[in-house]
Amino acid sequence: MALLDIARFLRERDVRVLVEADTFEAIGRPALDPADIETIGREADLAIAVGGDGTMLGLARQLAKWQVPLVGINHGRLGFVTDIALDQWSAALGAILDGSYASEDRTMLVARVVRSGHEVWRALAMNDVVVSRSSRAGMIELQVHVDGVYMYNQRADGLIVATPTGSTAYALSANGPILHPRVAGIVLVPVAPQALSNRPITLPDDVRINIRVVDGREPRAAADMQVFSDLQLGDDIIVERAPFMAHLLHPAGYSHFATLRGKLNWHEMPILSRPPA
C-alpha cells in the first residue's frame, strides 16, 4: 500500500508521521500515530494527500486555516493539483524534504447561505462554489449582485463561481476561461443558460458575490462538489475570497503550463479527417 510505504520512508528519515483518524481506521490501524484534523493542523509541518484531486481539495479545505503546506501524490485519474506521479513519489518527496521544491498559494472561497437574515450553511472551497438545479427539475432563476451592485438575472441549469484553481475543473467544461493561479480573479460561469448571450466573466477576487434564488425547484449549493446544502426560494448565497489560501508544494521545476499541456493534451496534434473515397 502506497500510504504505508510513504509512512515508512518518512520514518526512516526521522520524521514523525500522523495519520488522519478515519484513514488510520480504513488501512487497518497500522503502527502509526492517528490524529484528528485539528491536531494535524496544529502540529504538522507538512501534509501529504495520497489520492486524486478530490482528496487534495478535501484536505485543503480542512487544513487551510492552519496554513499547513500541502503535497499531492496522484493515486487518482487526472491529477491537476496532485501533481506527483505515484511511481515517482520517493524521489519527489525526498527532494521536497531536502528543501528543493516550488511553492505557490492558491485562492480559496468561503460561501454562506443566508435565509431570512440567518446564516444556515457555511463552507470553504478550493475549486468552486456551484448553485444549481436538481437533476430532476427544470432551470432555476438566479439574481446576482456584485458588491451590492445589480449584475443580472439569468435562467440556467446553474452558476459556477470558480477560483483560478477551479477554472480548469467544472468551469472549464462549461466553456469558462482558464485563469493562471497567480491571477487575482474569480470567474462566474453560467451552466447551460437560457440566453446564449450570458457568457463567463472574470471579476476581481476582492468582491462579494450575492446569488439569490428567485425561482426553480430543488436548488442546491455545493462547495467543490463535495459539500452540499439544499436551498429555498429567497436564499442568498454569498461568496467571497477566504481569509487564507491553500499553500501547495511542488517538485522543483514545476510548471503550470506543463501541467496544462499534459492534462489537457495540448501537446497532441489535431487529427485531420479525410473525405471518404
Residue 130: the pLDDT is 98
Please report the domains of the chain, with CATH numbers, ordered by start residue: 2-107+245-264 (3.40.50.10330), 109-241 (2.60.200.30)
Mean predicted confidence (pLDDT) in 245-269: 87
Residue 272: the pLDDT is 63
Is the overall model pTM greater than 0.75, yes or no? yes
Grid cell at residue 95: 527532494
Mean predicted confidence (pLDDT) in 91-110: 96
- Asked whether the beta carbons of 102 and 256 are under 8 A apart, the reply is no
Check whether 209 has a pLDDT greater than 90. Answer: yes
Q: In percent, how much of the chain has pLDDT > 90?
A: 79
**Sequence letter at residue 50:** V
Lowest pLDDT segment from 74-78, 148-152, 194-198, 230-234: 74-78
Check whether 273 has a pLDDT greater than 80. Answer: no
Q: What is the pLDDT of residues 121-164, one digit of tens each?
A: 999 999 999 999 987 778 999 999 999 999 999 999 999 999 99
Report the alpha-carbon distance of residue 247 to residue 90 in Å, rounded: 21
User: Is the pLDDT higher at 236 or at 1?
Assistant: 236
Mean predicted confidence (pLDDT) in 160-169: 97
Q: Per-residue confidence at 231, pLDDT binned at 50, 70, 90?
A: very high
Check whether 1 has a pLDDT greater than 80. Answer: no
For residues 96, 100, 106 and 110, what is the CA-based torsion angle, rounded to 10 degrees? 40
The closest alpha carbon to 33, from 21, 43, 50, 45, belongs to 21
How would DSSP label each residue in 1-56? Answer: -HHHHHHHHHHHTT---EEEHHHHHHTT--SSEEE-HHHHHHH-S-EEEEE-HHHH
Q: What is the pLDDT of residues 58-77, one digit of tens each?
A: 999 999 899 999 999 998 77
Q: How many Cβ atoms sit within 10 Å of the Cβ of residue 58?
A: 16
Check whether 275 has a pLDDT greater than 70. Answer: no
- Is 53 catalytic? The answer is yes
Please give the sequence-ordered ranges of beta strands (E in DSSP) within the chain, or none if there are none: 18-20, 33-35, 47-51, 70-74, 84-85, 101-106, 109-115, 118-125, 128-132, 140-146, 149-156, 158-162, 185-191, 201-204, 209-215, 220-223, 227-230, 236-241, 246-251
Grid cell at residue 201: 466573466
Round the average pLDDT of the chain to a whole number and report it: 93
Grid cell at residue 112: 454562506
**Given 5, 14, 33, 53, which residue is catalytic?**
53
Report the alpha-carbon distance of residue 30 to residue 112 in Å, rounded: 39
